[in-house]
Each structure stands twice: as C-alpha cells, then as structure tokens.
Structure 1
Amino acid sequence: MVTEDSARRTALSGRVHTGYAEHQDGLVVVEGDRVVHAGPRSGYSGGDPGRHHVLAPGQMVLPGLVDVHCHGGFGADFSSSEEEAIRATLDAFHRQGTTTLVASLVTASREDLLAAEPLLAELTGEGLVAGIHLEGPFLSTARCGAQDPAQMREPDLELAADLVAAAAGTLRTMTFAPELPRSRELAELLVAHGVLPSLGHTDADTGTVDTALRHLQALLVDAPGGGAPRSPTVTHLFNAMPGIHHRSPGPVPACLRAAAQGRAVVELIADGTHLDPCIVLWAFELAGADSIALVTDGMAATGLTDGIYTLGAAEVRVRDGVASLVSNGSIAGGTATMLEVLRRTVAAGVPLGDALRSATVVPARVLGLTGEAGGLTVGALADLLVVGEDLRLGAVMRRGRWISGDLFP
C-alpha cells in the first residue's frame, strides 16, 4: 500500500557508508530533505520506504562532502567575482559532491574584505554556503604564501570587530598568526562572537604555537552558547609555516601533538601538490582521522583547464593542474575538488573510512553542524553521493533532491 509519506520517500539499498560506519547490506531512506533511516537494511522498520533504488555491484552511498577552506572554483573567485558567477560556481561544487562549503576570502584591504562579506552572508542565509572563512589579514608576512604581504597587518581589534559585524553572524572561522601582538585579544574577540580561531600562515616557534593552542582550547571550552565545545583548527598544516628541523621543530610538531590529544583539528590539502602522499599518511597515523579535516584550498581554476586565473587581486597561472603566482611562482591554492582529495587520500594508503570521516564528519563538527551535515544520520539533511569502486562520481543528492548524475531519474 502506497501512503502519502511513502510517496515522498526515496530509498537506496546496497553498500552504504554513513560517515561513521559502513554497512554492506545497508539502506538509506530519505523523506523530503531529511534522512529518516541510515544503517543496516535489517534495522529498518518504518514501513514502505517509497521509491527504491538498488545499487549496482561496486557502487556505494557516501555522505555529502564538507569543505571548510575554499576560495572559489569553476571560474569564480569568492573574493572578487560577481554574484552570478559565484552562484554558478556554488551550484557546480554541489553537483561535484561538495554539498557543504565554506567560502574563504584571502587577505585584502579593509574595504575589499568588508565589501565581499555581505554577498556571502546572503548566500549563507539561502543555504548555498555554510558561512565565511577569513584567511587573514592578521598573518605573518614571512609566511604569506600566495597572499599579498602588503595587505597583512598586526591584529587590529577594531577592524576584526567590523569584519565580524559585516558578516552578520555568518563568519565561521578566521586564520591568524599567533606570534603577532594582540593575537590573544583577537582570539578572545572571535570566540566571544562565535567565530572559530584557526592558526596559520605563521612563522612561530613550537612553544608559541603550543601556548596559543592551549589558550584557544581553554577559550572554546568556556565559550557561551552551549553545545559540545569545539577545538581550534590549524589552517593547511605544513603549508605556509616553517618545516620541521631537528633543532628548530617549528609549528608542525606542536600542531600534530595537539591534534593527537584531541585539542586541535588540522587541515590537510591532500591534493598531491601541497603535500606528498607519505606526509598525508603519516599525519593520519599520528593525529588520527578524528582530528583531521581534509580541505581543497580551491581557487578559481578548480574544475577547469590550465590557464590564467585570479586569487583575490593576484594573477595565477595553472599548468598541469598546479596553480602558482605569476609574480613569484608560489603555490596559489588548489585545483582539486573534495572528491578528488578524498580519492588521493585513499590512494596514499589511508583507509576509506578514515579518509571519509575527515572529509565529512570532522569538518561538519568544526562548523558546529554535527547531526545536520557531514553524516547520514536520522534527522540530518539528505546530502549524499553515489560513487563507483574507484570513487568516481555517479550521482549527487542535496537536501533530498538529485542534482547531478544519470543513475536515477
């Protein structure tokens, strides 16, 4: 008997990974834009599951992927492009399996940052992005990477407050260098406004980073608002910071130690360009998947061919998929999608379950979206992918609607 509820339902059965556990004989049932069952098929007792799709051998259902660090893609730059181009880019990311995305802004002038935030805040309100990430401007000029050192400055609490206000409650995280003056006061201001601090683009020594991470963790434990306390993050570990030396260890050991102890979440750009695969595997072995967030650090060339693109105000050349500044050759963001990052992480030797958790569950937790995104659990948004044996994309559902793929009409 077909009921009104079952007519609104869609079910997929076969191999299912919820982000938390894998089920060889699994079932996902979606009603409207929400998941009403995700787990073993034998555990379902909700009546007629509605329209039922049986996965082919080799296919698998995964949660929609979550990227907390992305500057653009498919021709658009979140810092400088027009609204129409940014909307088209977000749609393209969603169709490629990144169903939850934070829009990152590079370091720029006060005026440019304040001008870019309102549109991204509006898109957040529409559910197209999950908020804003400011990568700067309070960064170390010694570790500027592809960002403009002329626009970097010491923490300015008045400017920080203006940036928080312009985002209208949608600023999720800000990257800053902990060795700069007033960085502690900056962190306190951010946490007081619900913004997650992230250490990065830093030239600090081990002790400074360790002290800063402990301070941030203490702030977050005592942060207002209730809910499970979150941990500070580290922006693209290894990149834009000193490398490890046996007499001058730098930030990396302190960050990995904090991650291993559950006091921080470290970002990894596991795209095959920013990090060697053995470093990716090593970081997972040391820190554990629950303290790693895979990210793309994507820029406008993501999803497109080689050529000349922009990252904020900078001109970027992409050759063989590698983005670098025209001015000095520095790596200038990534060109891989989250699904490609997931694929490369697994190819590096990381078990699929661990890599998937770091591409879904952990970044959702960073954003305070556990139970809403990043995992197939009852009540969560119905964001999911169907992939093949090689993790090639088959179809994408976002908020209960198929948006790409021809597997299911």
Structure 2
Amino acid sequence: MSALLLKNGRFVLPDEVTEPQNLLIRDEIVFKIGAEDCGEESIDVKGGYVFPGFVDIHIHGGGGADFMDGTAEAFETAVRAHLKRGTTTLVPTAMTATHSELVGFINAYHSFKKHSKYSDAAVGLHLEGPYFSNTDKSSKGAQSGNLIRDISFAEIAELLDTADGSIIRWDAAPEIPNSAKFAEICKENNIICAAAHTNATAAEAQRGFEAGFSHITHFYNAVTAYKKRGQKVTAGVVEAAYLNDGVTLELICDGRHVPKECVQLALKIKGEKKVCGITDATRISCTDMKCGKLGSLKNGTEVIVDDGVAKLPDMSSYAGSICTMDRALKVLCVDYGIGILTAAKMLSSNPAALINEENIGRIKEGFFADLVITDNNFNVKTVIKRGRVTE
C-alpha cells in the first residue's frame, strides 16, 4: 500500500479553507485529513493551498492538439498539457464537423481510453453540435456554418451506437425543428442536453427546458439575451435560464469572454452550486502558438490569438479560448474577487456533480486523491492524480 503525506497545507474543503495541517493519501484515496506525520513519503506544501483537482467539462484541446484531430495521440497530448495545469478530469469536446469526423473523434476516444495511462482523466464525450442555429454570426460563433445542419435521427443513432455510452453531454439549439425529440433521446441515453449557438427567444428556450434541455453552454456567449427583433423587444436564453431554477450554467473563465459583473450576477441569481467554470480551450492553449485551427486540421476553423483570447481572423467573433484552469482560478479569485470556496465549487465540485462523477471534485476522506497544490498566489506547484504526483 503506497502512502503520501501532504504537510502544512491549507486544504480547500467544501465548506472551509483549513489552517495549515496534514493530509494522508493511501493508494488512490484521501485517507485522513488532519493526519499525524508518521514518516511517510511527504510533500511540504509550505502553507500554500491544496485544491480539489479541476474538472473541465468543455475543452477542445491543448498543447497543439485538438480532440477533433481524431487520433489517440491528440487526446494524449491535450490531456497531458492540461493535467500539468491542474485539470485532473476533463470531457473532450467536439465541434460542428462532418459525420465521419465525429465518428473519428469518438473512435479516437475509445483508443485513448484503452491504451493511455492517463485514460482516467477523460470521463466521457461532449458533442458541441452539429445541430445549431445558422441564422446570424452572433449565434454561429466559430462553428462552421457550412457544416451546421438539421437534426438527423439516423445520424444520432449511428453516433450513439459508435459511442457505446461514452457521450455524456450534447449541445443543440432549442428553437430548431425536432429539438424536443432530440432532448428526449438525450434523456433516454443519460446525456446532458444543453442549449448552445442559439437564436432562441425566451419562450422558445422555455419550451426547450420543458422538453429536456437542462444546461446552457458558454453562458452569455453565442446565446441570446434581451434585444430588439424588428419592432418588438424580446427576452432571450439568458433571461429564460435565470428564471428557471433547474437550469445550470457554464462560464468561460478566461477574463475575456465574460466580464466580472456578469459572473457575479450569474452567481447571485443562480446560486453558487448551479454555475460551472470552463476553459473552452483550443489547441493553442498551453503553447506559444499565435494561430491554429479550432477543430480538425482538415475542416477546422482558422483562429488567431489577440489580446489573450482566440478570435476569428476577421475579429468578428471569439473562437474558443487559450485558457487553462489554473488561469481560470486566478481570474476568479484575483481579478474578479470571487471567494476561494466559490471558485473551487465552480472549477471542481459543480462540474463533477453535473456529470455525475461522485468521487472527485472535493477533498473528502474516501474520495479520489485528485489534488492541485498552489502557492499563495495560486500558481500551480504540484498536481496529484489518483494519489500519484504527475509528470
């Protein structure tokens, strides 16, 4: 039985940040909070913080690789790049693509899960598309307009068959034809049905919620809000989500996509347990690249880096991010004044709960020892995955 003692750490527990104390890990598990030093192998945290490992439920790639590259090697590269920055669990995300590319994405995940020693870091798949609104640039965002298409039940059946239970969330626009049936299929397959890249009114969004849409993808971005449509002012997805207590949200926490006041408003209205922080990271994240492709190398969208964020070359839209979860932590706690406990919920326990991962996301005896050690300025020093210090 292996053992590792973390000494002199301020542990970010669900309801408190402890004074400096010890924590004992045995094998993969948090064994004892407040343990005595009995001579085990140890790491001196030196009064820094120990967070639960970050859980990113919307992430396209990193380290120069995109999950849509369709190879196990791309999965390995991206997972390892983000693991170094504290993301111990993630949900690889596809984007609007050809049917064959989506099949390739799923098959690459299966290969990665079968062969990689980092396989337990990826816990299911997220399909962002291809069934979106294509009526204007603001809803389409960086999705490939020529590949956005009507809901196809034949395609859905084939993708579900290929995935064999690995799809855990799927995004669509709730106002498009057959979206209610799409939501029903998601529910039947234990898939989180999320609204994204949508031009829906509040009434259309509410009908979507009643049909089974339960989550909003990158809230505030590529979703509608209060605006004038012709001669009529209408509410949008943002207002509908605020009015529906059962709907959860995710926010891109890169300090660019969502202003501080909007993060604070979401937390105030929805409550701190209903809001997740994500990166929406592209292949450019964790690198010094200044341009690249969002999505596959063949059919992906060209993006550039400008002012710390990925954008379309014509500057008409953001296009994913270059964010990592350690940067998200700093944005929330330092730039936006969000408390440490709330930030930990947004980046760890809330997304873990959303995807029904019961033994991660919190520092608790009996839970997996997925931990991130930082200094007092939230710089990552050590990442521990299932009780082992990562490379």
Alignment TM-score, normalising by the size of structure 2: 0.90
Secondary structure, counterpart of 1:67 in structure 2? strand
Corresponding residue number in structure 2 for 1:157: 153
Shift of the alpha carbon at 1:320?
A: 3.4
Deviates more, 1:67-76 or 1:304-313: 304-313
Corresponding residue number in structure 1 for 2:390: 403
Q: Structure 2 counterpart of 1:254, which letter?
A: A
Corresponding residue number in structure 2 for 1:375: 362
Deviations 1:237-271 (A, max 9, x none): 1100123338322110111232xx2x021010121
Q: Matches of residues 1-400 of structure 1 in structure 2 within 5 Å? A: 5=1, 8-38=3-33, 41=34, 48=38, 50-57=40-47, 59-80=48-69, 82-124=71-113, 126-142=119-135, 143-216=139-212, 232-245=214-227, 247-258=233-244, 261=245, 263-312=246-295, 313-326=300-313, 329-346=316-333, 347-370=335-358, 372-400=359-387
CA distance in 2, matches of 1:306, 1:54: 35
Shift of the alpha carbon at 1:373?
A: 1.3
Secondary structure, counterpart of 2:242 in structure 1? helix
CA distance in 1, matches of 2:152, 2:43: 55
- Give the ranges of 4+ consecutive aligned residues of structure 1 lying more than 6 Å apart after TM superposition: none
Count how many residue pairs are aligned between Structure 1 and Structure 2: 375
Deviations 1:6-46 (A, max 9, x none): x63434343111244322244322111111123xx2xx59x
| Contact 1:75/1:302 (8 A) holds in 2 | yes
Secondary structure, counterpart of 1:340 in structure 2? helix
Q: Structure 1 counterpart of 2:226, which letter?
A: I
Deviations 1:285-335 (A, max 9, x none): 221210001000000110122422011111111123221122563211010
RMSD: 2.0
Deviates more, 1:169-178 or 1:314-323: 314-323
CA distance in 2, matches of 1:93, 1:293: 17
Change (3 A) 1:164 1:309: same
Shift of the alpha carbon at 1:75?
A: 0.4
Aligned-pair identity in percent equals: 27
CA distance in 1, matches of 2:348, 2:291: 31
Change (3 A) 1:73 1:53: closer
Corresponding residue number in structure 2 for 1:407: none
Q: Structure 1 counterpart of 2:165, which letter?
A: G
CA distance in 1, matches of 2:9, 2:75: 36
